[in-house]
Structures are given as C-alpha cells and as structure tokens.
Structure 1
Amino acid sequence: MWAEEISNDTEAQLAELKANMKQMHQMMQVMQEQIATLEAERDEQAQELAELKLQNVEIQSSSLEESSESYQTLNRILEGDFPDQTSQVRHRGGFKDTQTAASRPKDYTLDPEYRGFIPVPNTPVLMKFNFKPRIDVSVDSGNTGTPERFIPARFPLKGSREESDSVHSHVTSNGTQIQADVRAPSVDGDFRLFYQNDFYDEQDANMKPRIQHLYGQYHGFTIGYTYSVWEDPDVWPDTVDYEGPNAVIFARRPVVQYTHPMNEHWNATVGFEQADFYVDESSQPGADDTGDEWTRMPDIGANVRWESEERGHIQASTMIREIAVRDAAGDEHEDFGWGFNLAANLNVTDRDRVQFLGVYGEGVGGMGNDTSFLDSDGAFDSSGNFEALPYWSVMFGWTHDWSESFRSTLTYGHVELDPTDAQDPTFFESSDYASGNLIWQIGPRWGVGTELLYGKLDAQNGQSSDDLFRLQFGMFYSIF
C-alpha cells in the first residue's frame, strides 16, 4: 500500500517536472526569437548608421570641394579654365634641375598644370612635396682632391704629396634633393614659399643636409635664402656632374629682391644680399694669417632679362660690394668690388640649345663655382696694400636632343684669377673644365646618364695639376 502511494507520488512529480521543462523550453525558444529579432534590429540600425555616416562624409566632402578655394582653383586648372601662367622660360628638365627653385616674375610658373600639387582644405593654398633620390658613381684617372665632387680648383699640383696617378673611384647619394613648394595661384600678389635641400653640407661625409633654398615670394618681393640676383639659374648646362662647370656663378645667400615685369618679355630685378666674401689673410705682412673679415654694407646687385618661350633668354647682371678685413695688428683695410655677368640660353633649333656665360670683375671670385672654394675675393700685396682680386670666366654649353628619350651636352669652362705677389706661389691662377655626356630619359621623372669630364689647375708660379679625367655614371628619380 505504501509502495503504491510512493509510486503514484513519483509519477506525479515526474509529470510535473516534464511539464515545467516543456514550459521552460518554450520560454527559451521565445527568448531566442526575441534575441534574434533584437540582433537583426541592431544590425539594421548599425547599417543605417554607417550609411548615414557615409552620406555625411560625402556631403562634407562635396561641401568642402564647393567651398574651399584651393579645390576650386585646382579644378579650374584641370579643366583649362584658369589664366595661363606659363613662364616665357622653357623648363629644360636638366639632370641637375637648377630652374625649378628660381623665383619668377608675376605669377609665372614652369609647370602651369601644377602636377603633384594638392589642395589645402579651407585655404587658397596648393602644396607639393617632392623627393628626388640620386646616385653617382665615378672613376678618376688620379686623385682629384675631392672624390665626391669634380673641382679643378682643388686638384693637387704635380709634385705634391696628394698627387696620384692611381685610379680612384667613389659612390655618393649626396645629390639627393627634397623639395616643398607652396603656392596660391588664385590670390593676388603671386604668393609662393619654396624649400629645397641636398646632402652636401660637409665634405667627405654622407647625407648631411644642406639647405639650398628657403624663401618667400609676394607682390614681386623675394625674401629669404636663394639665388643671388647676380646668378642666372637658367643658364647651367645639362651636366651629369652635380658640381657643374667651373666658370658658372654659384651664389646662394640671404637676399631681399624685387622683380619688376616691364612687359611679357622683359623684367628687371634689384636686391641687396648678405656680403659673403673670402679674403686671403695669410698674404698680410709678417705672414700672419690671423684677421677678421667684416662688412660695411650688403652686396647690391641688379639684372635685366629678356625672355622668349621660342628663342630662349638673355640676362645681364651687375654687382657692387665693399670688401673689408681687419689685420692681425687691428688695422682695417677695404676695397671696392664690382662685376658684370652676361648669360644666355638660346634655342637654336627644335633639338639644339646653346648656353653662354661671361663674367668679369674685381672682388667677385668668391661667387665663382670653382673659386668659391678659395680665398679669392681679396688679398694683400707685398707692400701691405689690400686689393680686390681681378676675376673673369667664360662658359659654353651645347645640348642636342637625339630623340625624345636621348640627349647629349658638351660643356667647356675657363676661369682666370689674378692673385697678388704676396699670396702663396702655388695659389690658384686658372682652371679648365670640359665634359660630354649621353643622357637617357627613361621616363618624365627618371633619367640615367654617363659623362666624361676633364679638368686642370694652373698656379701662379707656373706649376699645374695633372690632366685629370673622370668617367661618371648617374641616375635620379623624381616623384613629380
């Protein structure tokens, strides 16, 4: 009897338990369905939110392009609906490009398509960052004195300890350049900021940055660090040699310049600049090389240019300066320096261009590409008088395009300096430079070239260096 009651109670409990489990299972199914519904709603809301964000970005982007002057300007340039700003000077695209960094009159530019420029939102500014990696491999017939460059003024003289007729070779990437160009072509005043550096800051060192240009241009004024008003950056011949011919003017310094465009083809520039000169203090009486160079006034210069896109350009420049030195006894000496420079790049035919440069003056040797490595602006004579040293140089270049991809340039330069009788007998008197190359322009921004160079140095006592030759291979790539 008790067993029957226990059995009945157990069956009742099992039935109740099964009923509860069935009810719980049904509740779990309902909860799972609710969870699935919630997850679906969540995914749908997330998708709607993402779509709203995308629409908002598109609206903002569209609004930015419609409202930002820089975007509008770039679109007008791309559509050809912008005033023509093409410079009368043709961009020759040299292996060593000295033209891009030069300031131009008015709003003129060598690249009216503004290739590589990006708009800065909510401003009228366009910016371009450019990197130009470069490698140079050279093999010399002897010791040139500066293996990473080709500088006749530094060639060892015959009989000196440094003279060597053994083959020398060198590899360098110091000619690599970094540029930043900032413009606002839609703004009155022809605004521009420009920066450029290479890596030739220290001799015999690899990749030490050297600032070449850092200046601003606005309403015809150029202020900062860049080309002297006396230098013509459009006349450098197309050499593979990064150093370039001995005879050209190399003067980069702090400047304040103003350029006045007289018409489409004529413009003039005046300016004053840091008086950076080099005096041979070892020539003073007593052979004491202590002393101090000092400046009474900045260098003052001017140039006049004629430019034609079809024919080329001609530039006539002049410079005046006061060269001063304080000798070992504390006495001050000074002399007047001056110079004239006539330079031209002329398009002879569709495939031929010639470059010419002639310089004459006194106390301007320190701005010559070769003699800038020497104390070549002033010195004392044997009577103790301080003099600005006479200087002259000539350079000729000829470029021929064999095809769209291949071109060659022949270059010759000669430099003369008249040192005093109190200077070292082995001091520089003249140098010669010659080169010939073949350049393969693989693409618009990629080029390789090979070049044969010749150089010689003559000292005032009749000594000279060996006739030195260099075979050079170079390659560069530019992003823009």
Structure 2
Amino acid sequence: MALAPAAFAQSSDDLKAEIAQMRQQMQAQQQVMQKMQQRLDQLEAKESAQEKTAQAAPATPVAPTGTKAPATPIVSSASAPAPSTPPVYRPPSAPAGVAEPLPEGYVRLGDTGNLLKLDLVAQLDTMIDNKYMGSADLFVPSSIPVRGQPFYDSGWRTNLSARQSLFRMDFRRDTDYGTLKVVYKNNFFGSGSGDMPYNMQLFYGELDNDRYTLLAGYNISAFTDIDVFPNTLDYEGPNSFTFKYGPQIRFSPVLYRSGDSKLTLPLSMEKPNADITAIANYSPYSRLADFTAGLRWQAPDWHIQWSNLFRNLGMQNSETGQTQRTKAFATQLTGSTSLFERDSAQGWVSNGHGYANFLQDISGLGLDAAFTTNGELRAIRARGYGVGYTHGWTDSLSSSASYGYLRVSPSSDMLINRDELPKSTKFASLNLAWQFSQRAMLGIEYLWGQNILLTDARGQGQRVQTTLRYDLNP
C-alpha cells in the first residue's frame, strides 16, 4: 500500500502524454483535411468553367457508326491571324481569285498532312460600248479606232461575257523547310474558239519560311506587282499596268525584319518572249532568259517595291542565219497603302527600252524592238504610270477609280507601221460595287479610253459594264 501513490502518479503522467500525442495527430489530420478541401474546391471551379465553355461552343456533329467523319476546316496556327487582329477589309470591287486565300478556307485531306482550298467563281459581265473596239470582252485603249479608220463611227453595241469565271485550287502542307504551297488557277480568256476558251493563269509551287521564298512554275512575272492592281470590274485593267505570265523560277530572300515588316530581294529567271515585228525572213528569238531583280518593303498596312527587268532581244534570218541582237532594260516603282478604315490607294510608274510585251495596252504589237533603216535592231522606249483609289462606303458597298497613261517613243528611222501603232493611250475607270451577300457581288463600272497613233490621229471609246459575281469560297 505504501507503493500505490507512486504507481498512480506514474500512470497519470503516461495518460497525459498519450492525450497530448493524440491532440497533435488530430491537428495534423485537420490540416491535411483542409488542404484536401481546398484542392476539391479548385477542381470543382475548373470543371464548372469547362462546362460553361462547352455550352457556349457550337456542338460538333458526330458521324454515325461505321462512317468516316467529314473533314473540318483547319486553321494553320503558323499563318492564321491572332484572335485580337481584325480581318483585313476587302472591298466588294476587288478582283476575285487574285489575293492569297485566308487560312480558314482550307480542309484537311485525310491523314496526308495536306490542306486544300477550292474556289469557284461564276461571273457574268454585260458590256455596252459606244463603238467597235477590237475585242468585245476586253477594254483595250490601243484598239480604239481613230478618225479615218473603219468602225470609227460604228455606234453602240452590247456584249455578254462569262470569261472572268474561274477555278482555283490551293494546296499547302508544313515541311521541315517551311510551308509548301501548290497553286492552280484558270479562267476562260483563251485564244481558242467559242465563248469560254480555256486559259491557264497559275500553276506553280512555292516554299515559304522565315528566311526566304522559293517559287517555280507558271506564274505572273516578278516584274509585276499584282498588289497594286486597282479594283476594276473590267478584266484588262489600266493600259500602263505591267502584266505578263510565264514559266519562271523565283528566289526572294529576307534581308531584314522589323516587327511585322520585312525587306526582301525578289530575284527571278523567266522565259523570254521577244515581241518584235518580223520583217523579210527574220523571226524573233532570245539568246538569254529574262531576269528581274528588285527590293520590296512589306509592312502590315503598306508596301513599296522597286523592280528591274533585264532582257536580250534578237532577230535571226531563217535563210542566211544572220542575227541581230540588242539589250533591253526597264525599271518600275510601285506601292500601295491602306487609308482610314476602308480606303486604299495604289500607284505605279515604269520606264525603259524593250519591255512593251509587259505592258497591258501594247503587248503583242511588236513594239519591244524594231529594225532601223540602216539594218540595226534597236529596243523601243516606253513609259507609263497609273493610280488607283478605293473608298469603302460601308462594309458591303465600295467605289474604285483608276487612271493610266502610256507613251511609246520609237525613233523616226525605225521600220514600223506608223498608221496603226499607238504613240500614247489613256485609261480611266469608276465603279460602284455592292456585296449583297457574303458570296455574291453586283457592280457597275464606267470606262473611258483614248488612242493616239504615231501619226497623231486619235479616237476615244467608252464602255458601261455591269458585273454579277458568285464566289464559292472567297
């Protein structure tokens, strides 16, 4: 009994220690439970946000069992604009099938890695001319009859044409060297018979990356700056615009970058096509290919380009084999800019010797070069300029105006037909276009032209054109 108090005291201390230990364990478990509750609250909040996003997005149709799901439009992350960037305004009067297609129009071709965009444009042009001007489908000032020529007072006439209708395919895929593109396009301005003769405009491949662009195939000449082509409803466009298609290889390295702007050096080698009036047994040829070199500064809202053309023109006698050759050179400065919210302006000026085959109004007239009276082959000087302006009244209504001037200056001793060839031509246009639906446009345009021959005889022509266009995938 004397030992009992000591034993009781010992057991009381042990009990207190156990209680203290249990309290520590309970506090630790409570902290763990609090952390788990916080994690549960975070997961529930995330799931709730995902459910709201799924409810706001349109439902994706599920293909029936046993059938292949239809391809969905693909947006390339490398080329698609940022979500916060508004789309570039494209006026209703802009030519169809000219601009680079937007990425969202592409669909995936199975598991091949290829993307495809198809575009079909059905267009009807109704044209009323105040006189006969050569081609009923094209407005070419150099073909306007002058006083004293047949059809000078031929009177009004009407024509309907669907030749501006077109078919275009754009393929692209990502490679280790950049984006590979293959582009095909045709319209119906061919030289064959019938109302809709086939005419291929584009068929080329292009490799594009951050350092350079490499193009090979059939395309518009690198001397042409298609980005300054004004928004005319008429297919031919201004008389002084340089426009030529042909097989070529083009290399455009990037020399400098500053933000979204860049400086490139377009270089090309193109198929020569000497346009020289044949005399006696001589026929035109070129010993060398055409070469172009230039500089282009491209910014998000404007650009400027300087292009230079180098040619070698020749004539050879089919009987004697005798040849005559001359060098040709031309330079051109072009530019465009966006103005205000919906307006834009374009301009170009060119000058040189032996590049008539690149100029819209005198291509095919044999004015690249000519023989002189002493038998020397010499390149003919030409020069031209033009401007264009587009005003967007609203997102669906726009007007475009353009003007062009062209001058040809052969020397007085050249052996050419001065009674038929132009000395200068002028061109002007004004239109109003209404995009009455996302894929349909209705427009009306007034065209005026003047033709002055080397003999100073002159004539004027006018046209009123209406256009109805349906564009499947603009």
TM-score class, shorter-chain normalisation, is 0.7 to 0.9
1:363 aligned partner: 354
Unaligned runs of 5+ in 2: 1-62
Distance 1:167 1:456 in 2: 17
Matched, 1:271 2:268: yes
TM-score normalised over the length of structure 1? 0.77
Change (3 A) 1:138 1:256: same
Distance 2:381 2:264 in 1: 29
Distance 1:97 1:152 in 2: 23
Matched, 1:353 2:344: yes
Give the letter for the 1:430 counterpart. Answer: S
Aligned partners of 1:419 and 1:428 also within 8 Å: no
Matched, 1:456 2:456: no
Distance 1:452 1:178 in 2: 27
Change (3 A) 1:201 1:91: farther
1:468 aligned partner: 461
- SS for the counterpart of 1:456 is strand
**Match of residue 255, structure 1, among 218, 235, 248:** 248
Measured after TM superposition, the shift of residue 136 of structure 1 is 0.5
Matched, 1:202 2:191: yes
1:428 aligned partner: 422
Measured after TM superposition, the shift of residue 118 of structure 1 is 1.7
Instruction: Kindly indicate which of the two structures has a greater share of residues assigned to helix.
Output: 1
Aligned partners of 1:148 and 1:204 also within 8 Å: no
1:159 aligned partner: 148
Aligned partners of 2:139 and 2:236 also within 8 Å: yes
**Match of residue 412, structure 1, among 394, 403, 408:** 403
2:137 aligned partner: 148
2:287 aligned partner: 296
Distance 1:306 1:275 in 2: 27
**Match of residue 378, structure 2, among 381, 387, 390:** 387
Distance 1:128 1:83 in 2: 17
Unaligned runs of 5+ in 1: 1-52, 102-109, 283-287
Distance 1:180 1:240 in 2: 22
- SS for the counterpart of 1:413 is strand
Matched, 1:326 2:316: yes
Identical aligned pairs, as a percentage?
Answer: 22
User: Cα RMSD over matched residues?
Assistant: 2.4
Change (3 A) 1:331 1:95: same
Aligned partners of 2:290 and 2:310 also within 8 Å: yes
Aligned partners of 2:131 and 2:151 also within 8 Å: no
- SS for the counterpart of 1:375 is coil
Distance 2:193 2:153 in 1: 18
Tell me which stretches of 4 or more aligned residues in structure 1 moved more than 6 Å: none
TM-score normalised over the length of structure 2? 0.78
Per-residue deviation, residues 204-223 of structure 1 (Å, max 9, x unmatched): 74111100000011252100
2:234 aligned partner: 241
Aligned partners of 1:281 and 1:327 also within 8 Å: no
Aligned partners of 2:273 and 2:285 also within 8 Å: no
- SS for the counterpart of 1:239 is coil
Distance 1:76 1:239 in 2: 31
Matched, 1:83 2:78: yes
Matched, 1:441 2:438: no
Aligned partners of 1:153 and 1:373 also within 8 Å: no
Per-residue deviation, residues 84-117 of structure 1 (Å, max 9, x unmatched): 455999574553236336xxxxxxxx513x21x2
Measured after TM superposition, the shift of residue 239 of structure 1 is 0.6
Measured after TM superposition, the shift of residue 83 of structure 1 is 3.2
- SS for the counterpart of 2:152 is coil
Matched, 1:314 2:311: no
**Match of residue 365, structure 2, among 362, 366, 374:** 374
Matched, 1:181 2:170: yes
Give the letter for the 1:461 counterpart. Answer: T
Change (3 A) 1:306 1:91: farther
Distance 1:143 1:75 in 2: 49
